[in-house]
Every structure is written in C-alpha cells, then in structure tokens.
Structure 1
Amino acid sequence: MLDRLYQDGRFSDESLGGSCGNVLVSLAMLHRAVAPVLRLGLDLEGDRLITEFCEAGAIVSHIHRSPNLRSPVLAEKLDTASGVHRFSFKCPETDADLPRYEPIGEPELTEALPLLEECAIFYADRLSESILEAMRTARAGGAIVFFEPSEIGDSTLFEHALALATIVKYSSDRLDDELEEMAANCIKIVTHGSSGLEVRDGSSKIWCNAINASEVRDTCGSGDMVSVGIIDWLLTEELSLGELNGQELIAGVVAGQRLAAANCAYAGARGLFKHRGASYIRSLLHAE
C-alpha cells in the first residue's frame, strides 16, 4: 500500500509500504529477484507504487491493475519527540476513509502459477483463498513459506496456512496466546517489541535480545527489517526445507535485528534504505 507519513501533524512524505511491500522492495534493493503478485488500481497511487518497485529492481509483470479498484493507502502519524507512531485508515487532512487493500483473485493466481512453482521463498502477511492456493503451489515446488500474520481472520484459512508455513513470524502483543499450541510443525519467531524476540522450533526456545538503537526517531518498520534480514540470509545460505531449523536461523535473525536498530534513527518504515542505501545495508547484514 501507499504509506503517507505525517510528522507532528504535517504531511512529510509518501512511499510504498505495508509489511509485504516493505519486505519485498527492500529485498529488491538488495539485488534479490523479487516478483510481487498483487492487485492495484489504475490510479496515481498505483503509479507511485509500481514506480518504486521498478526503481528497486523488482519484477513488476505480475502486478495487475484495474480501473474499478483504488490502490490502498495508509496514514502513519509520527510524534518525532517520542518516536511513537500510529496508523489510520482515515485521511488526517480530510477525515475521509482511505482505500483498503484488496487481495489477488483467481485470474491473478492463474497467471502467476509458473512463477510460484519455481520460487525459492514465498512471503505473505495476509490471507485469501487465492493467496492460500499460491502458498500451497509454492510449497509444493519446494519453496520456504514465510508467513507473517497480524491477525487470525478466517480461522479455516489461517489453519491451512499454518500447515503450509515453514516460518511463522508474529507479535506477542497480537497473537501469542492464540498460537501457543498451534503451528507445531514450523519455526515460530515471536517478537516482543524493544525487548527482543524468541525463536521456537519444537521444544527448542532461543531468546535473542534486541540490539540497542543509537537513536530512536521512529520504530515503524522494525519488524519488517527483521524479516528482510532473515529472508536475505535464507537466500544466501540456500538451505533446503529439511536443513532449516531454529538454531540455524539465528544468524539471519540477528542480521535483521541490526537493520531494525539502525532503521529506528530515521522516519518512515524504510528510512534506513532511503538515507543510507543498499551498500550500507549490505554491510550491516554481514557485520559480525
């Protein structure tokens, strides 16, 4: 979606956002082969989102646009003194409802099937019947399925997604109680905000303390940066599904935590990428 940033009550910037958008465009900027499969409106907001994907180097041939759809927009309101942010689906300037995300359907899924059958990692943060089928296709082709939900929503879809997922990453504030006994066959990454996170793999539980941020201007996007670090590490290591375990994953988790800490010094979910560039991010990912 398009993130519109308002700092201390004033509009300051807009850029591609949402967890899926942040993760994908960041990986594309790191020169990974990224192909978003999504629906957008035939509007100025959609133009802006596709331009950002193109500039990052993503493959945009699986982005479908419709004149009957409005591209999704989200407002981030940031208090720069405290670093606290909150999100709104209402425009702060007009109080009008902002357009929401619409998932892919059967036509978009069918067109993307050859891609899904060959991908190395499939990432999703939301579910629909078509997204679940895309996940199923990717997993059948040997992909690592990285699922990052913020809510359960449709419980049937959610349970099927957990059965397909290789890695499930979620916030303890939102889903920990519900997922405590679920997702038994996958690696769980449970985030605890500024305290750190826990990697759970069967009976194994590994705690990773958060890395201190030298400056906190905006914590938005911190979780997304952790996901970027993990996925980038997975692509580098080229581990098969059978080789992956929680202990192995710690190196990628810590790399992502370094990105998250550095990103806090900048406004916006991908401020670090905007101000420091991909070469600097790559150096953080490989720091010891």
Structure 2
Amino acid sequence: MIGEALIDIVRTGNERFYLPGGSCANVAVALARLGRRAALVTSYGDDHLGDLLDAHLVESGVEVLSGSRRTGVRTSSADAAIGPDGSATYRFDVSWDPDIQIEPDLYTVVHIGSIGAVMSPGAESVRRTVDAVGRSATVTYDVNARPALFGDRNEAVDKVTRLVAASDVVKASDEDLAWLHPAQPVDATAATWLELGAAAVLVTSGGTGASVFTPRGRVDVQGARVEVVDTIGAGDTFSAAMIDGLWSSGLLGADNHERLRELALPQWRRVAEYAALAAGVTVSRPGADPPYRHELSTKLALLNP
C-alpha cells in the first residue's frame, strides 16, 4: 500500500475523538486483520498524532516500511463532522511528500489511492513507482476523490485517468464519479476506464451496494443491511476485502493479468459481495475499524449455513 496515513479528528455533538485513518493506511490495516502481509509506504511525523498512528498500525499487524515516519514532518489530520445519517464530511490538514523505496519484484499486489495518488509532490513518486511495479504485481487503485485537496477538476481528471490506465482493478464511489465527470453516466465512465486497460471497475453506492464493470459485462450486488454508526473507512475496507477475495482465488501477481481480464461475472459477484459484507462491519462501528478474519468468517457462516 502506498498512500496517506493521518488522524481523523471526529466531532459528534460536543465530543471529539482522535482516530487513526487515511485511505491507504486503512486498507493496510484491513488486509492485515484479514491475515495478509500488509506493508505500507506513507509519511507521518514523530509528534503525538504520529504516536497514535504508530500504535494503531503496529497493533493491527501492518509493516510500516522504512522512511515512513520522519523527523521534522507533521502528521496529517482530517477534521471529520458526522451527519445524522452517519456520513462524514472532512476538512483536511495534509502534507504528502513520501520517501518511496520499494523493490518492484517483492510484492504480489500494490494498492494506491486517494490523496496520495493525486496530491503533489508525492503523487509524482507514486506514479513512478506504479510504472515500475506494474510488470511484476497487480495494481489496484481506489480513486476516493477529495475535492478539497485534488485541486482543479480538469487536472485531477488527467491524473486519475493516467493512474487508471496503469492499474489492473479500479474502485471508485458514485460520488467520486459524479465529481470527476458530472455530466457523464457511471456506466459510460466505467466503459472508458475499461478501454484504458483496467480488468474491472468497481463502483460503490453507499448502503445501496456496488456494481462491477468488466469487458464481459456488469454485475450488481446489494449492500449489507446494518445500522450505520458512521461511514469512515467503509470504502477502504471494501478495497481491502476486494483484494483479499482476489488473493484467495489466486488471481493476483504478474502471472495473472490476463486471468483477471477473463474472470467470469459470477466470480466477480462473489468478490463484490464479500467486499460489501466487510464494509458493512466497518460502518456498524465508529471510525475506520475494519473486521478481523474471524468476524467475517462468522458472518459468512450465518449467511450460508
């Protein structure tokens, strides 16, 4: 995983909570809790907020790669206000200039996303790394647009498009697509991204569910029926469980680029249903708190007795 790690400062009424987060950090935590080796390249400081991040990542089993915690760098934060329906709106204080040093041939999958994939100056390093690892690993990309930080819309669209073209699997929300391409239907954007080379485009629609677009067609799945506490980290958990599902099916890595492109719709349905189930656990509790493997196994057993 290559991307931001930050502290979500969550405000509910008169209360304020400091919760570790950041899109790619959340994906790393979710994958580690699912029993996968998860290595994270990020950038955060040696301050108090950095201590909170460090403890959270280590406790969850994430391998924080060398150079991610840096002296003299402040830890980024996101001020999150929770609405009555559990949705979160953010005000960011983010800096992103990571020291990315990874061996391209060591990883089965490389995940990028959100602020780290678009925000300069670090985005340029992310793009160079993706170009280097794309031949030896599966590249997954979660757009996770943050208009307050993505700058000019047209420039953001150009950056996102270049990353889509370099990725094997792309995930975005319907809100991401509405901001990037406000006059274009979701299926039209997905078709364009498939033409750029992606094996699949997964579009989430909050509690409604998700759609998977592939060269073989489209499949839709329902969202998990849960009581929503907040939506922080839901999309990141979906991404992690999607990766885990593909991993379990032996579909990641340099030898499987074409297998991904030929994957049948029923298999994509299973992956998306699994990802939606995992995201449902996250929204049922405060903050970015993704499920452990045993929790998902229990829920799957209840659904499939």
Q: Which residue of 2 aligns with 1:189?
A: 202
Q: Which residue of 2 aligns with 1:237?
A: 249
How far off its partner does 1:156 sit? 4.3
Q: Which residue of 2 aligns with 1:95?
A: none
Change (3 A) 1:86 1:154: closer
Is the contact made by 1:148 and 1:168 (CA closer than 8 Å) also made in structure 2? Answer: yes
Secondary structure at 2:243 match in 1: helix
CA distance in 1, matches of 2:18, 2:35: 23
Residue type matched to 2:124 in 1? E
Q: Is 2:127 aligned against 1:132? A: yes
Q: Which residue of 2 aligns with 1:207?
A: 220
Q: Which residue of 1 aligns with 2:278?
A: 259
Q: Is 2:88 aligned against 1:85? A: yes
Q: Which residue of 2 aligns with 1:94?
A: none
CA distance in 1, matches of 2:222, 2:10: 29
Q: Which residue of 2 aligns with 1:222?
A: 234
How far off its partner does 1:72 sit? 0.6
CA distance in 2, matches of 1:87, 1:28: 26
TM-score normalized by the length of structure 1: 0.83
Select the structure with the greater relative contact order (CA < 8 A; seq sep ≥ 6).
2
Q: Is 2:80 aligned against 1:68? A: no
Secondary structure at 2:81 match in 1: strand
Which among 9, 23, 36 is matched to residue 14 of structure 2? 9
CA distance in 2, matches of 1:282, 1:3: 28
Is the contact made by 1:117 and 1:137 (CA closer than 8 Å) also made in structure 2? Answer: no
Query: Aligned residues: percent identity?
Result: 22
Which among 272, 284, 287 is matched to residue 299 of structure 2? 284
Q: Which residue of 1 aligns with 2:138?
A: 144
Q: Which residue of 2 aligns with 1:57?
A: 61
Q: Which residue of 2 aligns with 1:93?
A: none
How far off its partner does 1:120 sit? 0.9
How far off its partner does 1:212 sit? 1.7
1:124-145, Cα deviation, whole Å (9 max, x unpaired):
112311101111122111x111
Matched residues, number: 265
Residue type matched to 2:7 in 1? L
TM-score normalized by the length of structure 2: 0.78
CA distance in 2, matches of 1:39, 1:261: 29
Change (3 A) 1:265 1:154: closer
Which runs of 5 or more residues in structure 1 are unaligned?
A: 90-98
Q: Which residue of 2 aligns with 1:121?
A: 109
Residue type matched to 1:5 in 2? V
